[in-house]
Structure 1
Amino acid sequence: MSGEYAGFSIVVPHMFPYEKMPALNLWLGYTTEPTTGHYGIEISKAVQQAAGFERLVFATPQEGWPERYATKLHSWYEVN
């Protein structure tokens, strides 16, 4: 192990105007190795559960990869 971080994510509560409870928004994610992005999703899901949020969501303009981890909700995605 090199002792270096492989990436990070920032999660924040997000309140949609049509819902009663906030969702946890994966606001920013970064990895030094593109093939390890799924680890960031798994870590964010663990944070979601530990913090008591029912949903983990994110928004991205990128196409293709989000569908591997989430279901598209208009311009947002909900992590499966």
Structure 2
Amino acid sequence: MRYSKPPLSIPDQLQQLRDRGLVVQSEQVALNALSLIGYYRLSAYWLFFEEPPAAGETRSHRFKPGSGFDQVIELYNKDRLIGCW
């Protein structure tokens, strides 16, 4: 299978999230999280912070105002801790 989209570097991934409206409180924390956890694993958690999709779309890829990367990490960490029980 050939993919038409080139991969993004981790700094470019972070910029894409910012461009979509995600507030990044600490760039270093966000870069570390994207590097260690991964963009696609975290995407399941920032889904809760995305605007609802328009009719016929599956996702909007735009964040609700005030949504922050720290909130995504907090949700990820809570899920990770609950999964240990």
Q: TM-score, normalised by structure 1?
A: 0.27
Question: What TM-score do the two structures reach when normalised by structure 2?
Answer: 0.25
Higher relative helix content: 2
